[in-house]
Structure 1
Amino acid sequence: MADKSREKDNKLTKKTIIKNHLIERGNEARIIRKIVAIITLVFVLAAGATLLGGYLYIESALKPLDPDNQKQKEIEVPIGSSTSSIGQLLEEKNIIKNGTIFKYYVKFKNISGFQAGNYKFSPSMTLAEITNALQSGKLVQKEVFKITVPEGFQLEQIADLIAKQTDYSAKEIMEKLDDPKTIEEFAKKYPEIITDDMKAKNIKHPFEGYLYPATYSFYEENPSLEAIIDPMIKQTEKVLANYDGALSEKKMSVHELLTLASLIEKEATAKADRQKIASVFFNRIDEDMPLQTDPTIAYALGEHQVRTMYEDLKVDSPYNTYVHKGLTPGPIANAGKESIEAVLNPADTDYLYFLAEYGTGDVYFAKTLEEHNALKKKHITDKRKEASK
């Protein structure tokens, strides 16, 4: 009996031991899970903090090192310097925060063509200002003068703007721009946009439409005409580079794009839908109809006109779109981005006519001549009669 009692006690002891062991293992497992969770949370927080810290550091490195410090330091960029070495040099001179980030900024922005030389940089400069200076090869300094070319301005008007800021006369400037040698000079530098299309015998001014409307700063007292014209052509090339695919898709040349865009630019009012105007021109070309756009008459006559008279429509000029079908030989003004994009993305309409209301600039579109004449009577003829009373 005693043996059986001991055997029973041993079994109970074993069960208790196993039970306690299992409880202990369960407790250990819970503790381990808690430790793993804590460690994981610590790693996640550390990784998040690292990423956040890295982001904030990069963001700060892309900004001026010290926006309030405009004191310039003279820095020499040796011939053959790599982007990495330039970045390191700028960091060592306390112009930028981090040379490596400068290198990746240049790579990401696809910037190239840095020139060796002596520069003056300050910690208040942005990376864009620094890279622009390195590309131009010019010392950073205050502008001597600037020229703002508005959208829709014609070449003779731009010549007047240049003449007001320089010692060149408007006549001198136009002679330079109309010289075939000038075309050849810039064709070597900008072969994608300066082409033989500009040499057609009927073109009034070869560079009409090729000097992009924008504001240009100049840092020399008496820059050459080439130095003044160059950034305007360069900006045209830069803008048009964004539309290479669209141009190929429409099977249009740069010259055709700038020509049609210039017609839209001169026709459009502040309230005009340029894409609809573009659709009218395309529809008329498809229907083998003359474009009949009044700004071409003013350009052919060489004078500004508030109203186009019936006698004006007979002017003997290849730019007269009432007489000649298709596009004019070349642009009649410098078009802005909106007009360029309207050519490449015209609205899908059946319109063949449009007109701007007298005094308001509201533009009305019509599919037939009858509709157009009715709109003309209502919004132009009758309005003029009322205004004359």
Structure 2
Amino acid sequence: AAAPPRGDWDPDPDEPEHPFFASDGDAGRSGGQRGRARDDDRDDLAGDEDDAEDGEGGARAGRRGGEKPKKRRGGCACLVVAVVLIGGGGGAAYYGYGLYQDRFGPPPDYAGEGSGTVVVEIPDGSTGIAMGNLLKDKGVVKSVEAFTAAQKANDKGTTLQSGFYTLHKGMSGESAVELMLDPKSRKTLIVPEGYRNGWVYAQIDGRLGLKKGTTADVAKSDWKKLGLPEWADDDKDIKDPLEGFLYPSSYSVSKGQKPADVLRRMVAQANKQYEKIDVVGQAEKLKLDSPLALVTVASMVNAEGKTHDDFRKMAEVIYNRLKPGNTETNGKIQFDSTYNYLTGRSEIKISTKEINSDPDPYNTYYHKGLPPGPIGNPGAEAFAAALNPTKDGWMYFVAVDGKEDTQFAKTLTEFKKLEAQFNASDAGR
């Protein structure tokens, strides 16, 4: 889309004034084992960023005794200065032109409607600047000014409301405003791979304008009516029968719909995908106890793998620890993510005493084998890894930097070396 004419763009009134245009009296405003220490929960996808608005500071310099106040230089005077600079040489001309652009040129902006998908939550009471900051942080627009200028230029720009918007990366300010004004941008809910049901329930509440906890209550009371396959909920200790069945995809969700209908569509999508990859038959090939066990393995792979490159190795770690002859961990999977699921949190550090003493069925440090059910909603890539793990003998893994750098080991001795790297990295943080 075309940028606003240079002479028509009015910077935000709170924007600091360039010292060149200020009066002389104005001052410029200027894992696998306890060494892993990381978890799956990414509950902070849509809506956890802090809003921040630019503040103003600085002080006005006092006049010297006896001096008359100097006249403020206006835009015309600045143009005269720019002309003089042009006459003074190429470098000066470039500098003068740059100052002119700073004041009167269009703000940095992308061109077109962008690509990809980004979900942005606009909190209640957000100003145009606050909205622009959120969009810029998400990579939707190139600058806050591009958004606020487009919002000001649009007749309906001031009608933008709080809520969740599905936008694109690299949008022009004009395109972003137009899409946010389009009801379609507020109807699509994207469930990312690996996210827990708790996050999905909260998103549905927000999209439908319901009281917090409404969708979770519906899921708890009506789960038998939502189309789960017969092999689901095969363990009395499962905390949420729908966990693992709200399949990662995009869904149309808008006010007027019922939570049960939205959940039913998500479960139907999961059934479709699970039939496509033959979860029942593949679970038998992998010698797992049930189809739900395969969904559980995929959910753990999605939870523990911070990068997609290590998914297949993560799957092998699980299968190797499930083998009857496993003497390395004696049948215990020991994943922090399963413990954090049972507590409903995302802890980077969990004390050894705490995790080894909690008898909850989801605690894979305390109990042998898989947890009772899935700990999130795995996506296609996690299933691909669960169906085709590596066969290199991986038994351990450690996020040696406490974040993304996951290293794998085959023996306890190798693991201890990785654990030492993690402890050294942790001490330096």
Q: What TM-score do the two structures reach when normalised by structure 1?
A: 0.57
2:418 maps to 1:375: yes
Q: Distance in 1 between matches of 2:200 and 2:369?
A: 27
Q: Which has the higher helix share?
A: 1
1:142 positional shift: 5.2
Deviation at residue 143 of structure 1 after TM alignment:
7.3
Q: Structure 2 counterpart of 1:341, which letter?
A: A
Q: After TM superposition, list the pairs within 5 Å mapping 1:214-229 onto structure 2.
A: 214-218=249-253, 221-229=255-263
Aligned residue in 2 for 1:260: 297
Tell me the equivalent position of 2:109. Answer: none
Residue equivalent to 2:214: 172
Q: How does 1:131-210 map to 2 (within 5 A)?
A: 145-179=187-221, 182-187=222-227, 194-195=229-230, 197-198=232-233, 200-210=235-245
Deviations 1:193-247 (A, max 9, x none): x2254153211111111101121113x5311112111221121112212211534
2:286 to 250, 268, 274: 250
Identity %: 30
**1:340-375 Cα distance to aligned partner (Å, 9 max, x none):** 111111111212111112255121111111210111
Distance verdict in 2 for CA 1:315–1:272, change over 3 Å:
farther
1:384 alignment partner, SS class: helix
The SS at the match of 1:212 is coil
**More displaced stretch, 350-359 vs 282-291:** 350-359
What one-letter code is carried by the residue in structure 2 that aligns with 1:212?
Y
Structure 2 spans left out of the alignment, 5+ residues: 1-182
Q: Which amino acid aligns with 1:239?
A: Q
Q: Match for residue 8 of structure 1?
A: none
- Of 274, 293, 313 in structure 2, the residue corresponding to residue 240 of structure 1 is 274
Does 1:276 pair with 2:319?
no
Check the 8 A contact 1:355/1:364 in 2, yes or no: yes
C-alpha distance in 2 between matches for 1:176 and 1:207: 11
Q: For the residues of structure 2 that align with 1:250 and 1:271, how far apart are their CA atoms? A: 21
Distance 1:265 1:173 in 2: 24
Q: 1:374 to 1:149 in 2, by over 3 A?
A: same
Comparing 237-246 and 142-151, the one that deviates more: 142-151
Is contact 2:188-2:252 (8 Å) kept?
yes
**RMSD after superposition:** 2.1
Offset, 1:172: 2.0
Between the aligned partners of 2:358 and 2:213, the Cα distance in structure 1 is 25
Shift, 1:271, TM fit: 5.5
Describe the SS at the equivalent of 1:207: coil
**Which position in structure 2 is the counterpart of 1:84?**
none
Q: How does 1:1-389 map to 2 (within 5 A)?
A: 145-179=187-221, 182-187=222-227, 194-195=229-230, 197-198=232-233, 200-218=235-253, 221-244=255-278, 245-252=281-288, 253-270=290-307, 272-286=309-323, 287=326, 288-313=330-355, 314-359=357-402, 361-378=404-421, 380-387=422-429
> Aligned pair in 2 of structure 1 residues 352, 144: CA closer, same or farther (>3 Å)?
closer
Structure 1, unpaired ranges of 5+:
1-140
Closer, same or farther in 2 for the Cα pair 1:201/1:161, shift >3 Å? Answer: same
Q: How many residues align?
A: 238
1:91-124: CA deviation from partner (whole Å, max 9, x where unpaired): xxxxxxxxxxxxxxxxxxxxxxxxxxxxxxxxxx
Aligned in 2, Cα 1:251/1:289: closer, same or farther, shift over 3 Å? closer
What is the alpha-carbon distance in structure 2 between the residues aligned to residue 255 and residue 233 of structure 1?
Answer: 14
Contact 1:271 1:363 in 2 (8 A): no
What does the per-residue CA deviation read over 1:131-183, in whole Å, with 9 as the maximum and x for residues that have no partner?
Answer: xxxxxxxxxx957612111112111111111111113334221122122xx33
- d(CA) in 2 for partners of 1:202 and 1:297? 14
Aligned partners of 1:211 and 1:334 also within 8 Å: yes
Q: Deviations over 1:295-332 (max 9, x none)?
A: 11111222221222223312231000001011100011
CA distance in 2, matches of 1:221, 1:171: 16
Say which SS state the counterpart of residue 213 (structure 2) adopts.
Answer: helix
Q: Report if the CA contact (8 A) 1:280-1:353 is conserved.
A: yes
Distance in 2 between residues matched to 1:232 and 1:369, nearest whole Å:
41
Q: Residues 315 and 293 from structure 1, CA distance in 2 versus in 1: closer, same or farther, beyond 3 angstroms?
A: same
1:269/1:282 CA distance change after superposition, 3 Å: same
Alignment check: 8 A CA contact 1:156 1:170 kept: no
**Distance in 1, Cα, partners of 2:313 & 2:257:** 42
User: Structure 2 vs 1, CA of residues 198 and 170 (structure 1 numbering), >3 Å: closer, same or farther?
Assistant: farther
Q: C-alpha distance in 2, partners of 1:161/1:144?
A: 12
TM-score, normalised relative to structure 2: 0.52
For the residue of structure 2 that corresponds to 1:198, the secondary structure is: coil
Deviation beyond 6 Å, 4+ runs, structure 1: none
- Partner of 1:273, secondary structure, is helix
Larger radius of gyration: 1
| 1-structure distance, mates of 2:186, 2:424 | 51
Rate the CA distance shift 1:204–1:360 in 2: closer, same or farther, 3 A. closer
State the distance in 1 between where 2:340 and 2:236 align. 20
